[in-house]
Amino acid sequence: MIRSGALWAVALVVSLASSNSFAQQPLKLNKEKSKIDFLGKKTDGQHAGGFKEFTVDAKADFETPANSSLQITIDATSLWSDDAKLTDHLKNPDFFDVRKYPKITFQSTKIESEGEGKAVIHGKMKMLDKEVEVKVPCDVEMNEDSITLKGKWKLDRSKFGMTYGAGKIDNDVEITSNLVFGL
């Protein structure tokens, strides 16, 4: 298995092949292979869902990975779930209120290496007009033509004022993201 430092070195060599600069290199999102999903749990079950539409502005600094950045804008109106009636309810003011707040944003503030193939992306997430600091642990996979960030973490919906069904619906929602970038 290639060590994390070696992965960055491989990515740096690929990057240098197309540019003489050590500055941040923009990464292009592969939309077909990328996704952002969630799993909400309640006392009598769970529901899967996610967002069909989102954009990502990612820049990688292969010389100093901590200088890399990630910005995600999610189209909240593209929300889906495993139940059509639930999808409609999630879009109303009890939850995401997509008419009033059609976007959810995430802006990285710090990226830390956590060892071989691991990173933590710190950032500010804005949803329902509230901004909350979050930490997203990620597995980082690199090869000669792509970088994949796989995140799995819990988001406390109540921090954004989303309290409908408190006590029956868990406040912690499991978020999984799979972002694939071409080099």
What does the pLDDT read at residue 10? 38
What does the pLDDT read at residue 16? 36
| Dihedral sign (CA 96, 58, 65, 50) | positive
Given a contact cutoff of 8 angstroms between Cβ atoms, the answer to whether 101 and 127 are in contact is yes
Largest CA distance in the chain: 57
Given a contact cutoff of 8 angstroms between Cβ atoms, the answer to whether 97 and 67 are in contact is no
What does the pLDDT read at residue 173? 98
What does the pLDDT read at residue 134? 97
What does the pLDDT read at residue 52? 98
Domains and CATH numbers, the chain: 4-182 (2.40.128.110)
Verdict on whether the full-model pTM lies above 0.75: yes
- Written as tens digits, the pLDDT of the chain (183 aa) is 334 443 443 343 333 333 434 578 999 999 999 999 999 999 999 999 999 999 999 999 878 888 999 999 999 999 999 999 999 999 999 999 999 999 999 999 999 988 889 999 999 999 999 999 999 999 999 999 999 999 999 999 999 999 999 999 999 999 999 999 997
